[in-house]
Amino acid sequence: MRDKLIEAKQKWAREGRLLTGTTSDPAFDRLPPGQTLVRDWPVLDLGAEPNVTPQKFRLDVDGAVENRLSFSLDEFMALPQTESMSDIHCVTNWSRYDNHWKGVAAQALLRIVQPKPDARHVMFHGFDGYTANVPLEQLDQPDVFLVHEWEGKPLSRAHGGPVRMLIPRLYFWKSAKWLRRIQFTISDHPGFWEQRGYHNNGDPWQEERYG
């Protein structure tokens, strides 16, 4: 099942499925090219949704940083919490507007861990072994959060609870669920889908679906 799904998605990447060949500017077009609005929130993952109990939860922040950190769930929840509203854009072409989130601002975390001057890239690791990479400047944005609440409720297991990444300006595959580790690196390393034909950057308005 899992291998079939991965194979199908790799085939879409090779064929350039859903590509419209147009780009737009988020300042003028809220909906990126080729996207369709949905009201529900679809679940997409590799099929093995880990059961991350509060006891099992741990978040490590390490690599090229001045202060390596490791949080229990209580320690994570004790960090300053921020509420935000943002849109989701999935590469499989659904978008969902006005999601209300609560969590820790990535910029607040960056102030605590202090990336070293030569840190340029970030790899997110999930409890299921999933990885996704972004340039450090994509993490250092005011709308990026480590979220644990959606619409006033704890984030469900299916959507990556207790804690997932949220990077609204990139396709949603960059937002790792069941967040386990944030690793800062000097050079770039492709994540799970990036190794399988997805674009390295993943900007929806540039239609960076496949690389």
Ligand X SMILES: Nc1nc2c(c(=O)[nH]1)N[C@H]1C(S)=C(S)[C@@H](COP(=O)(O)O)O[C@H]1N2
Among 73, 123, 163, 176, binds ligand X (CB under 6 A): 176
Considering the rule CB under 5 A, would residue 192 count as an interface residue with Mo ion? Answer: no
Identity of residue 118:
D
Nearer to Mo ion, 13 or 73 (CB): 13
Written as six digits, the tokens of 69 are 């950190």
Which of the ranges 28-36, 108-116, 125-133, 134-142 carries the binding residues for ligand X, by CB under 6 A?
125-133
Considering the rule CB under 6 A, would residue 128 count as an interface residue with ligand X? Answer: yes
Cβ 54 to ligand X, closest distance in Å?
A: 18
Site size with Mo ion, rule: CB under 5 A: 2
Are the CB atoms for 173 and 133 separated by under 8 Å?
A: no
Written as six digits, the tokens of 83 are 């509420």
Cβ 119 to Mo ion, closest distance in Å?
A: 27
H/E element holding 8? Answer: helix 2-15
Identity of residue 159:
H
> 125: which strand partners?
131, 181
Among 17, 120, 157, 159, binds ligand X (CB under 6 A): 159
Nearer to ligand X, 19 or 78 (CB): 19
The Cα angle at residue 147 between residues 141 and 153, in degrees rounded to 5: 145
Interatomic CA distance for residues 109 and 162, integer angstroms: 17
Considering the rule CB under 6 A, would residue 175 count as an interface residue with ligand X? Answer: yes
- Strand 69-71 relative to strand 59-63: parallel, antiparallel, unpaired? antiparallel
Residues lying near Mo ion in the complex (CB under 5 A): 44, 173
Residues lying near ligand X in the complex (CB under 6 A): 41-46, 90, 126, 128, 130, 159-160, 172-173, 175-178
